[in-house]
Amino acid sequence: MGPIYWDLDPEIITLFGTFPLKYYGLFFVTGIILSYKLAQHIYKLEKVPVDDLDKLATFLFVGILVGMRLGHCLFYDFEYFSKHPLEIFLPFQITDGNWTFTGFAGLASHGGSIGAIIAIIWYARKYKTSIVWILDRIAIVTPITGAFIRLGNFMNSEIYGKPTNGDYGVVFVRDDMIPRHPTQIYEAFAYLVIFGLLWYLYKKTNITSKRGALFGLLLSILFTARFIIEFFKENQVAFEDSMSLNMGQWLSVPFVVAGIALLFLHKTNKKVKITS
């Protein structure tokens, strides 16, 4: 069996002759919508007003996007963005006074995770609700968004794996003719399995009586999977070539440690206030 040749144009359509709509953006939005719909179902199951979720969603959307962008700029390309700070939050590249629309080329999932946690803490304090209750429920739906983001990366032929050194794998024709590990697919599959596990535990066990257990499982399992898959992934930036572990692996370690700590430190649920 030979390699699969992948040569899809990442741009679906160009809007107004200037702004390209890419598969990555489409899959990103699809993942968010599906996660939101499932979160709605969870809120209804637990008789929590869906209006509360709508308010939380606004906080999360801002927190995730800002976190992903800052994460990329700080962790992966600090030297460039320290000299071009306007480009951090503008979807344009500024060269010799000329503005070229690029979209936000550079988003880091670890930064998005940090941004989401900060957004939940901010929301919970503002509306005087339980931080851990929210973290446990959002943990269930988070892998869905993560899976669709990685599928978007695959559609765009980006964040792919190292050469397979064989006649198997995926050839991303738009970059080179080398069979590579489709690490985007590996990661998307892992995230969907993690979602299935968390959903099963939520529906079929009393895990929600252990505060922080679902969130702890998410952190420990998801970022362990990410850590392992990074061994097959091509380095994203040149400075990673001299590192024993790449940036994605180093950034995953604190999440794994935090997840394990939560699993050991969780407390049995008492009645908590979950609405504003």
Q: What is the pLDDT of residues 132-176, one digit of tens each?
A: 999 999 999 999 999 999 999 999 999 999 999 888 899 999 988
Residue 275 lies in a domain: no
How many domains, the chain?
Answer: 1
Residue 68 lies in a domain: yes
Residue 8 lies in a domain: no
Residue 101 lies in a domain: no
Q: Which domain holds residue 45?
A: 20-88+108-268
Residue 226 annotated as part of some ligand binding site:
no
pLDDT in tens, 231-242: 999 998 888 888
Whether the model pTM is above 0.85: yes
Residue 276 lies in a domain: no
Q: What DSSP assignment string belongs to the chain?
A: --PEEE---SEEEEETTTEEEEHHHHHHHHHHHHHHHHHHHHHHHTT--HHHHHHHHHHHHHHHHHHHHHHHHHHT-HHHHHH-GGGGTSSEEEETTEEEE-------HHHHHHHHHHHHHHHHHHTT--HHHHHHHHHHHHHHHHHHHHHHHHHTT-S-B-B-SSS-SEEETTT-S-EE--HHHHHHHHHHHHHHHHHHHHHHS-GGGEETHHHHHHHHHHHHHHHHHGGGBPPSSGGGGG-SS-HHHHHHHHHHHHHHHHHHH-EE--------
